[in-house]
């Protein structure tokens, strides 16, 4: 079973992840991880921290001559801005919308610093490292993942993107990774306005997974449902407040005849759908269509013009503390979304195929694909 654990603080010496359950024989290089770390640091609206940190991964274990061994795989991402972090001034003014106050009560702190150090979205840097490895595993089975920004504030990019049909409508590493470049310009103007007003902005990003086989996940147990696990993964990203799959909440506005995807069959293609309102997931399982997920990110909680708060020691009203922060981090959250989704899909794939080595997984995958052509297996 694939699983991972992260450790580290926002301004601590480093962030570390241990990934367990990788098959042996998977080729991994640090540059594969660094590429995803760089993508996480990009995006219009990022703050000063991104000018300081130039994230690089160091693989500490689980690799021999460039290939995984099947042993726990350990990644470290160093923090440049860390010296003296434990001597920083105590913080006593909790920020509305952040983990500060609740975390202080939960762990009996007299200082908010330990809360914000671990609750910070900086933790996602090493999760992106884990997801980069998961992406490498999925690529061995031609399973691909994309993300794009579809909303900043009230401005929406309603362009349709269907990679399963072989159409690339232009998701490139532009400032916001939108398809509609005119809409992207309007979003950038809105971010500039928020920056001038010392405010912040949220939005919505989309993550898609295509070339996925039928049958990942399960309907037999609540915690084996792939849709639930993917929603959990996306909701675990800092500042995410909502997730939808396929048509999502708009399903509630339609008749069933307008929602459910009809089923067709051709000998060459097998079973397929002409629509994908379900977003590639039915009954907790992948149905062979592109998985389409969207996540809503709230505005960053740290503001240049802080909101009202109360000092935890004096109990007097104050303006909340101001920390270095982004104005908008939706494109970066999309990259994080790709990687947490990649991990969950890779975990489900390994559960389905089994195998201690990549070669064994490939054999099992080939046999499964042959079976899926007809939907019947001779006993």
Q: Which domains are delineated in the chain?
A: 3-372 (3.60.150.10)
The answer to whether the CB of 209 falls within 8 A of the CB of 280 is: yes
pLDDT in tens, the chain (379 residues): 899 999 999 888 999 999 999 999 999 999 999 999 999 998 888 765 555 558 999 999 999 999 999 999 999 999 987 777 777 788 888 989 999 999 999 999 999 999 989 999 999 999 999 999 999 999 999 999 999 999 999 999 988 877 655 454 457 778 999 999 999 999 999 999 999 999 999 999 999 999 999 999 999 999 999 999 999 999 999 999 999 999 999 999 999 999 999 999 888 878 889 999 999 999 999 999 999 999 999 998 888 888 899 999 999 998 876 766 789 999 999 999 999 999 999 999 999 999 999 999 999 999 998 888 766 655 5
Q: For residue 64, give every residue at least 6 positions away whose Cβ sits within 8 Å of its Cβ, in sequence order, or none.
A: none
Distance CA 119, CA 347 (A): 25
Distance CA 357, CA 237 (A): 30
Distance CA 36, CA 224 (A): 28
Distance CA 45, CA 33 (A): 23
Query: Looking at the chain, how many residues does it have?
Result: 379
Say which DSSP state 376 is in.
-
pTM, to two decimals: 0.92
């Amino acid at each position: 079973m694939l699983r991972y654990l992260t450790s580290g603080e926002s301004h601590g010496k480093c962030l570390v992840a241990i990934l367990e359950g990788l098959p042996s024989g998977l080729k991994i290089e640090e540059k594969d991880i660094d590429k995803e770390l760089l993508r996480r640091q990009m995006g219009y609206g990022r703050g000063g921290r991104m000018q300081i940190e130039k994230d690089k991964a160091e693989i500490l274990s689980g690799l021999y001559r460039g290939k995984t061994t099947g042993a726990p795989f350990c990644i470290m991402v160093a923090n440049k801005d860390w010296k003296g972090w434990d001597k920083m001034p105590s913080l006593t003014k909790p920020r509305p919308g952040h983990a500060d106050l609740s975390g202080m009560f939960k762990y009996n702190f007299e200082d908010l610093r330990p809360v914000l150090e671990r609750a910070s979205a900086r933790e996602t840097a090493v999760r992106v490292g884990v997801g980069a490895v998961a992406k490498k595993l999925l690529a061995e089975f031609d399973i691909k993942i994309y993300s794009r920004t579809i909303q900043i504030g009230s401005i929406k990019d309603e362009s349709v993107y269907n990679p399963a049909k072989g159409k690339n409508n232009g998701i490139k590493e532009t400032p916001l990774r939108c398809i509609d470049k005119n809409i992207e310009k309007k979003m950038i103007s809105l971010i500039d306005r928020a920056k001038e007003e010392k405010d912040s902005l949220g939005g919505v990003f989309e993550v898609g997974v295509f070339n996925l086989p039928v049958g990942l996940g399960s309907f037999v147990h609540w915690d084996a449902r792939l849709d639930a696990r993917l929603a959990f993964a996306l909701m675990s990203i800092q500042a995410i407040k909502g997730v939808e799959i396929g048509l999502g909440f708009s399903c509630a506005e339609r008749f069933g005849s307008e929602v459910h995807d009809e089923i067709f069959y051709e000998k060459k293609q097998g079973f397929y759908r002409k629509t994908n309102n379900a977003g590639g997931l039915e009954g907790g399982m992948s149905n062979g269509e592109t998985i389409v997920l969207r996540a809503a990110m709230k505005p960053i909680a740290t503001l240049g013009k802080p909101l009202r708060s109360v000092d935890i020691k004096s109990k007097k009203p104050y303006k909340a503390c101001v920390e270095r922060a982004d104005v908008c981090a939706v494109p970066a959250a999309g990259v994080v979304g790709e990687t947490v989704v990649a991990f969950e899909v890779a975990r489900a794939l390994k559960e389905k195929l089994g195998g201690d080595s990549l070669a064994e997984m490939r054999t099992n995958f080939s046999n499964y694909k042959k079976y899926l052509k007809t939907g019947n297996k001779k006993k």
